[in-house]
Structures are given as C-alpha cells and as structure tokens.
Amino acid sequence: MRVGLGYDVHKLKTGRKCILCGVEIPNDFGPDGHSDADVPIHALIDALLGAVALGDIGKHFPDTDSRWKDANSIELLEKAYTLVKSFGYSLGNADITIVLEAPRLSGYIELMRSNIALVMNTEVDNISIKATTEEKLGFTGDGSGISATAIVLLNAVGNLQKS
Ligand code: MG
C-alpha cells in the first residue's frame, strides 16, 4: 500500500465558473486559473501522483502548455489515474476536504463523489468529500481564495502471489 497527500489553492474571481469535482455550481465567482481550476481535483491528482512519487500536477500538466488551457480537470484526473495504474496501483480510498467561505457545497457533495467514483472506476463509498469554512479567517475566510487537501491510499495490484 502507498499513501499520497495533495494540496491546492486558487484565487477566487468574479465571473469565473465555479467548477468543483466536476460539478458546476451556480455562483457569481469561481476559482481562477489556466485550466478550469477545479481545486479539489487538482489536490486529488497531486495525492495520486505523490503516492507513487511521480512528481506533481505541474510536471504532468504544466500551465505553460496550451493543451491544458481551460482543461477539464476531471479528464486530467483520468489521465493521472491511468498513469498511476500503469505503475501497478489502484485506488483504495480517497478523502478530500474543500475549504471555502461560500457558496455552501452540501447540496453538491453526492454528485461530486459520484463524478470521481465514475472516472476512477470505484465505489462511491471509497470517495469522501467534506467541505468546511475557516471561520472567516485568512484567505479562504475573506473569500479571496479556495483551498483543498486530498489524501489517497493506493493498493498494489497484480502481485498477490508475492504477498
Ligand atoms: Mg491548481
């Protein structure tokens, strides 16, 4: 088994779409960035890459590369997970925390979990997503940014005979 941890931050900007875990949330501001700036998915990708010591999202999908301009981060997740699987690992479970002051995400969490479970070909029970505020403190508290952390556990596959 291997574990990986990911963390990501983006500024929030008026007029940007608010896409989190592939769900477009009706809102008048959203994360700014080169891709769709899906912060929790970026954290999850970094956790996956980190678990196999494959570097980070910037190495695999650099924001200087026009291929990833406005990229759908769910598709980047699919690519990153395909890479991880090619090294002989599959997802055990993932746990994600999204930190932002607004909007409230409680009505979207189940759809977010389903999106990730679908692309990672796993049960929804293996995908946990939580949202919290930071009590109006710091850059998430004043609404200037959003952050997310993700942790994953990967299981080695295909070597059951050795264990
Ligand atoms: Mg990012």
CA of 73 to the centre of ligand 1 (A): 9
130 within 8 A of 15, measured Cβ to Cβ: no
CA of 121 to the centre of ligand 1 (A): 23
For residue 163, the model assigns a pLDDT of: 39
Phi-psi region of 37 (alpha: psi -120 to 50; beta: other; left: phi over 0): left
Closest by Cα among 96, 97, 99 to 143: 99
pLDDT tens sequence for the chain (163 residues): 999 999 999 999 999 999 999 999 999 999 999 889 999 999 999 999 999 999 999 999 888 888 888 889 999 999 999 999 999 999 999 999 999 999 999 999 999 999 999 999 999 999 999 999 999 999 999 999 999 999 999 999 975 444 3
CB half-sphere exposure, 39, CA atoms < 13 A: 23
For residue 162, the model assigns a pLDDT of: 44
CA of 32 to the centre of ligand 1 (A): 9
CA of 40 to the centre of ligand 1 (A): 8
- Domains and their CATH numbers in the chain: 2-156 (3.30.1330.50)
Closest by Cα among 56, 47, 53, 54 to 4: 47
CA of 122 to the centre of ligand 1 (A): 24
CA of 90 to the centre of ligand 1 (A): 23
